[in-house]
Amino acid sequence: MLTDKILKLKKEKDVVILAHNYQLPEVQDVADFVGDSLGLSRQAAKTPHKTILFCGVHFMAETAAIICPDKKVLIPDLSAGCSLSDSITISQLKEWKKSHPGAITVGYVNTTAEIKSELDYCCTSSNAVNVVKSIPKDKDVLFLPDMFLGSYVAKMTGRKNMYIWAGECHVHAGIRSDDIQKQLDSYANSELLIHPECSCTSQIMYDVAVGDYSNRQVQILSTEGMMNYAKQSTAKNFVVATETGILYRMQQQNPDKNFIPASKGAVCQYMKMITLDKVYASLFEEKYEVIVPKQIADKARVAIERMLAIS
């Protein structure tokens, strides 16, 4: 069986397999650690293994390579990209910074290594609010590339001097308020877990504030935040507004609870490009290595280390 071959080979070759929450179930099953971007970055930083096989999208493997310059980082498919990461180029960022001299630049981890090398801070959805809160209030902030996460952070921090890049994740942008409401109506006493990259986050925050959700629990959380919340909540039904891959792990950890996708179409084709066959081939042939040029990696590492230092 392919799963057994992978488990045997990773031991023989001293390889740790990291997989994002959005990966295919069978890929999650062979991983040593499954989690969100921040959790996997932390695992990469502390792993004793010589090689990291990253089952995620390209920017995640780049981040691991930057954090662990002494390790080999492999990705099973080099073309596993990210629509959000593609929404800003290095020339666009440099121009934006020029037009706001003295501003502090905060970039979501969903960006290329080249973009990260131009940032003051990196962040993930789980610590974006705290990263921005740590910046002096009199400093302008450029937040990129996700406009929905940026809007959420601006509201949560109350910061008026925050400029937000107009990028989006095509999967989260496609989850609509109507989709969510239909699912909530179908399941009595269900709680809503929503990722801040969703296009309807701001609208839902407003709706909650004016009482439209009555006494229903609504939590705006990172994927790992969703995992933790689902474990400790006494609710039995959860409508989950993020990429559908997370439902597998949620169900595994909470077999007595029911997890409903806000939108069945919320599937990232890039995350699903990594298959068990590709994982085995990557292990067996030690391909494809992700290498970040030293000059870019050294600059990007500063922003990433600041991200890892802020919970």
* 149 within 8 A of 108, measured Cβ to Cβ: yes
Q: Is 122 marked as a binding-site residue? A: no
Q: Is 125 marked as a binding-site residue? A: yes
Torsion sign over Cα 226, 22, 170, 289 = positive
Q: Is 214 marked as a binding-site residue? A: no
Q: Is 195 marked as a binding-site residue? A: yes
Q: Is 198 marked as a binding-site residue? A: no
For 213, the token pair is: 């959700």
Q: Is 82 marked as a binding-site residue? A: yes
Q: Is 282 marked as a binding-site residue? A: no
Q: Is 200 marked as a binding-site residue? A: no
Q: Is 196 marked as a binding-site residue? A: yes
Expressed in angstroms, the distance from the first to the final Cα of the chain is 40
Q: Is 170 marked as a binding-site residue? A: no
* 248 within 8 A of 151, measured Cβ to Cβ: no
**Largest alpha-carbon pair distance within the chain?**
59
| Four-point Cα dihedral 122, 123, 127, 130, nearest 10 | 50
Residue with tokens 């089952």: 55
Cβ-proximal residues to 302 (8 Å cutoff; 6+ apart), any chain: none
User: Residue 150's closest CA among 174, 175, 123?
Assistant: 123
Q: Is 268 marked as a binding-site residue? A: yes
CA-atom Rg of the chain in angstroms = 19
Q: Is 110 marked as a binding-site residue? A: yes
For 44, the token pair is: 């990469």
Q: Is 223 marked as a binding-site residue? A: yes
Known binding-site residue numbers for [4Fe-4S] cluster = 82, 169, 268
Known binding-site residue numbers for iminosuccinate = 20, 37, 108-110, 125, 195-197, 223
Known binding-site residue numbers = 20, 37, 82, 108-110, 125, 169, 195-197, 223, 268
